[in-house]
Structure 1
Amino acid sequence: MEERRGFPFRDSVSSIIARGEAALEAGDPVAAGNWFVHAFRLGSGVARVHLEQIAPVLERLLDDPREGAGASALLGGIHLISETQYERALALFRQAAESGAPDGMRGLGFMLAEGVGTPANRAEANGWFRRGAELGDGYCAYNIALAARDGLGMRRNAKDFLAYLHQAADYGIPEACALLADQYNSRDEEEDAFRWYLVAAQGGHVAAMWVVAARYEAGLGAAEDRVRTDPAQIIARVGNFTERERAIEVWMYLADKAGWQVSRVPDGSLDTDAGDCGVVEVEGLRYRIRLTPRVRTTLVDDAGGRVSKRPVFSHAAWAEPVLETDGFVPYLGG
């Protein structure tokens, strides 16, 4: 599985951030920033802080003959992620793209395709996506595949769609892997479909994760695996008076007992009104742990001197997959 200009296949958010911090300590802010962008895409607030901190360093590298193109593309990506200075981001992406940096081609193509900070120009966007794909950028390959499939700024072309989709999937792009799996599934080629759904799921594609779980359970395209309970099916019956921190600890304990490697994501945003306890990472995929009325129990009431029983819902900790959106993939680091 190719990883260069693709996706950090099977890497956890914490390991991606660690790679970025190591690159920063080694004096390579461009490489560090690209790792942080990957982590940001997977939901890391810590990565966003790192990106904001290295932006001034990248400014000083823009005229460097060796690092300038990469720094321009990364700084443009930081502006795009922050939803600030779109015109500056566009100029930085164009500078990087014209210098031959695939990351710049990807970012420029995205802004042109979606009309961000500039009038939309799908035809020009496709030209940059195509050039980036030819230079080995998996995200560019995925974006031009979508354009060929849907006729966005070009004529529909099934041959190009499949060729670029395979290229993007070979680089581990989760969206491309899931879409390629769909193509195999539509032809009832179960084993190939499952193989690509699995790669997509391991890259954090939530819809593919649900498909993989269902197919493991049913044995479609893979040997049946009932040894481990799917994390989404793990219920921690903690009762109505348990605090959130204790609830997530109990859920993580049960997940560990089920055979999963589980870790906390310390920077997950919480919606306490929805019962959020925190975010965990389970072998490369992320789940939001909630504490809400979830399981059936019996309430015994002796009011009035007469014992009565009635069914009620009791609180439990449970896992909800952290979803991502599909579509054109913007700048995501090199």
Structure 2
Amino acid sequence: MELDEGRRAAEAGDWVGAGHAFVRAAMDGSAEGAELAARVTVELEPLADGGSAEAAALLAGIYLEYFDASALPRAVRHARAAAEAGLPAGQRTYGHILATGLGVEKDEARAAGLFRAAAEGGDAYAMFNLAQLVDDPDESLRLFEAAAREGIVAAGAVLGDRLSALDRDEDALGWYVWAAGRGHTGAMNAAARWYRDGFGTTPDPVQAVRWFFVMFAHGDGDGIHEAIELVKAGALDEGQIREAGRLAGAPEAAEALIDTVLGGSRD
């Protein structure tokens, strides 16, 4: 869908819209999206040089993500221009460059100021970045939650970690489940293990195996051994395994687990 949206925007001469659509496609794993995002830089350069802060910020991100180190000076130049124009996306991108020392002298204090300005402008990624730099733990938690509620899934997973460190296990589990439900495999693993071991809740082997199944569906098989061990230990019967598969949207995984562990013991 993003690729089609990008092509339509390109046909209409909306190169900024096209670039954003191609980047979204690339972020979803499309190799063609990454290729088209790189190609559209030819059209974005004159826009950025003509004063378009949005084109400059978009160019900086594309150069950082889809080009080699030779494009770094261009990324720095465009990010700085977009930041100086007051565009939140530019402030966030230039803040990232300063925070990591990409082609410039590392300056976390200045980066934090840019992240804060971008966050105040509503940039969710800037909220996430700022949360990792501020010294105030309460402010950090507020920023992680704000970023998560704006759709930054990784922020929810990190929030779970931070709340866990504060022994707020029930809240932590809630955020792990939130992030797991949005595709974060690390949060899936945390949720599965916490349900298995009873952190933040009473032990719930059905929910544990559910999230192990979801992990596997996302290409991470690290939890399958734990699921097998739960079944071997008698923590779930066939009906509960099937319920875990139903909740995970993976009934075939449930049947495979039943056949693997219980196949020889039924009847």
Is TM-score (shorter-chain normalized) higher than 0.5?
yes
Taking structure 1 as reference, are residues 227 and 179 closer, same or farther at Cα in structure 2, changes over 3 Å only? closer
The structure whose residues are more often strand, as a share, is: 1
The answer to whether the aligner puts 1:117 opposite 2:90 as a matched pair is: no
User: Residue 60 of structure 1: SS of its match in structure 2?
Assistant: helix
Q: In the aligned structure 2, how far is the partner of 1:214 from the partner of 1:111?
A: 36
Q: Which segments of 5 or more consecutive residues in structure 1 lack a partner in the other structure?
A: 1-14, 149-155, 236-254, 262-294, 296-334
**Pick aligned residue for 1:197 from 161, 165, 176:** 176
One-letter amino acid of the structure 1 residue matched with residue 43 of structure 2 = V
Percent identity between the aligned chains? 37
Taking structure 1 as reference, are residues 79 and 215 closer, same or farther at Cα in structure 2, changes over 3 Å only? same
One-letter amino acid of the structure 2 residue matched with residue 184 of structure 1 = L
Measured against aligned partners, the alpha-carbon deviations of 1:173-195 in whole angstroms (never above 9, x if no partner) come to 12211111123333444443233
Specify the alignment match of 1:30 in structure 2. 16
Specify the alignment match of 2:231 in structure 1. none
**Pick aligned residue for 1:259 from 231, 235, 249:** 249
Q: In the aligned structure 2, how far is the partner of 1:191 from the partner of 1:173?
A: 21
Preserved CA contact (<8 Å) 1:112 1:121: yes
What do you get for the CA RMSD once the two structures are aligned? Answer: 3.4
User: Residue 54 of structure 2: SS of its match in structure 1?
Assistant: helix
Preserved CA contact (<8 Å) 2:48 2:78: no
User: Residue 47 of structure 2: SS of its match in structure 1?
Assistant: coil
User: Residue 133 of structure 1: SS of its match in structure 2?
Assistant: helix
Measured against aligned partners, the alpha-carbon deviations of 1:145-191 in whole angstroms (never above 9, x if no partner) come to 1111xxxxxxx222332232222222121221111112333344444
User: Residue 48 of structure 2: SS of its match in structure 1?
Assistant: coil
Specify the alignment match of 1:80 in structure 2. 64
Shift of 1:64: 5.4
The structure whose residues are more often helix, as a share, is: 2
Preserved CA contact (<8 Å) 2:130 2:143: yes
Q: Which protein has greater RCO, CA pairs closer than 8 Å, 6+ apart?
A: 1
**Pick aligned residue for 2:90 from 91, 104, 108:** 104
Taking structure 1 as reference, are residues 159 and 24 closer, same or farther at Cα in structure 2, changes over 3 Å only? same
Preserved CA contact (<8 Å) 1:197 1:211: yes
TM-score (norm 1): 0.56
Q: In the aligned structure 1, how far is the partner of 2:170 from the partner of 2:8?
A: 39
Specify the alignment match of 2:186 in structure 1. 207
Taking structure 1 as reference, are residues 123 and 203 closer, same or farther at Cα in structure 2, changes over 3 Å only? same
**Pick aligned residue for 1:168 from 122, 147, 162:** 147
Shift of 1:217: 5.6
One-letter amino acid of the structure 1 residue matched with residue 118 of structure 2 = G
Specify the alignment match of 1:136 in structure 2. 122
Specify the alignment match of 1:69 in structure 2. 53
Measured against aligned partners, the alpha-carbon deviations of 1:69-128 in whole angstroms (never above 9, x if no partner) come to 111011111111213321111110111111121111111111111111111111211111
The answer to whether the aligner puts 1:89 opposite 2:75 as a matched pair is: yes
One-letter amino acid of the structure 1 residue matched with residue 23 of structure 2 = V
Preserved CA contact (<8 Å) 1:172 1:199: no
Q: In the aligned structure 2, how far is the partner of 1:88 from the partner of 1:145?
A: 28
Shift of 1:234: 7.1
TM-score (norm 2): 0.69
Q: Which segments of 5 or more consecutive residues in structure 2 lack a partner in the other structure?
A: 226-244, 252-259, 261-267
